[in-house]
Amino acid sequence: MDPIGTYDYTTEAYSLDFMRRLPLPTLGNYLLDAATRHAEERGAGYTVMERRGTAWVLSRLAIEVIDADGLAAPIRVSTWAEAMERIFIKRCFEVTSAATDKPLAYARSIWAAIDKNTRRPTSLAGAWPDRMMVPGRHCPVEIAGRIAAAEAAPDDAPDTRTVRYSDLDINGHLNSIKHMEAMLDGFDLETYRKASVQHFEISYHAEGRYGTQLARFRRTLSPGTFACALVDGDRAISRALIRFV
């Protein structure tokens, strides 16, 4: 079986944002869907993982947008594993125009397989990575070493957001896509009118629990580049780095 999986997605007009662009969380959803289908087809899907008492957990995701307008038309997502590092697997994505094959975006992600009882990472020793791995294939997007703590020097007082039923994933925690939405909601419409997101990167640190009030902090790192954080009490549950162009 081809170690690269390729899947098509079309965003209908009613799901575009007010600038007629593909909302980045929707693109994130397509990436997660492609990753899930790719893993399932190669014997490392949800059911197999669950039978082993394990689950995939997304740890980092970085997206580099090449052509924001092109993403609003039918797209093709290719995904493959790039490297396995003891307890992490790195997965890459290339997003192209379904009509022209032109590259529109790239993404890189880091996943851990955790033990469902202890919630700790488990070894990835096993056959799957070989079925998915294409080391060295072109994927021009970097994951930063560490994202600056927005809450240490925020631009303003934080907004708040309570974790509700519709935010929850199958584990009862704030869905990874909802983290993305919350980060992007830290910017006003003027920002989205004048610019679009070129680089979006998120790191997940802890579970967003039901009923907690999360504080969203934003910090300008340089013109157009921001660090964001979702904070529960005194702990950041996720951090993001967002660059507009």
Whichever of 67 and 181 has its CB closer to its own copies, that residue is 181
Would you say the C-alpha torsion 223, 220, 176, 55 has a positive or negative sign? positive
Closest distance of CB 164 from its own copies, Å: 4
Give the whole-angstrom CA distance, residue 225 versus residue 153: 14
Query: Do 110 and 89 form a contact (C-beta atoms < 8 A)?
Result: yes
Q: Residue with structure tokens 């899947």?
A: 7
Whichever of 86 and 193 has its CB closer to its own copies, that residue is 193
Closest distance of CB 146 from its own copies, Å: 26
Give the whole-angstrom CA distance, residue 30 versus residue 168: 18
Site of interaction with its own copies (CB under 8 A): 12-18, 20, 23, 25, 29, 32-33, 36-37, 46, 164-166, 168-172, 176, 181-182, 184-185, 187-189, 192, 210
Closest distance of CB 100 from its own copies, Å: 19
Closest distance of CB 200 from its own copies, Å: 13
Give the whole-angstrom CA distance, residue 6 versus residue 2: 10
Whichever of 153 and 206 has its CB closer to its own copies, that residue is 206
Describe the crossing of helices 24-41 and 176-184 by its angle, rounded to 10 degrees: 160
Whichever of 14 and 146 has its CB closer to its own copies, that residue is 14
Structure tokens, 59: 């740890």
Query: Do 109 and 58 form a contact (C-beta atoms < 8 A)?
Result: yes
Closest distance of CB 44 from its own copies, Å: 13
Whichever of 177 and 241 has its CB closer to its own copies, that residue is 177
Helices (H), the chain: 24-41, 46-51, 128-132, 176-184, 189-194
Angle formed at CA 202 by CA 199 and CA 207, multiple of 5 degrees: 165
Closest distance of CB 142 from its own copies, Å: 25
Whichever of 21 and 90 has its CB closer to its own copies, that residue is 21
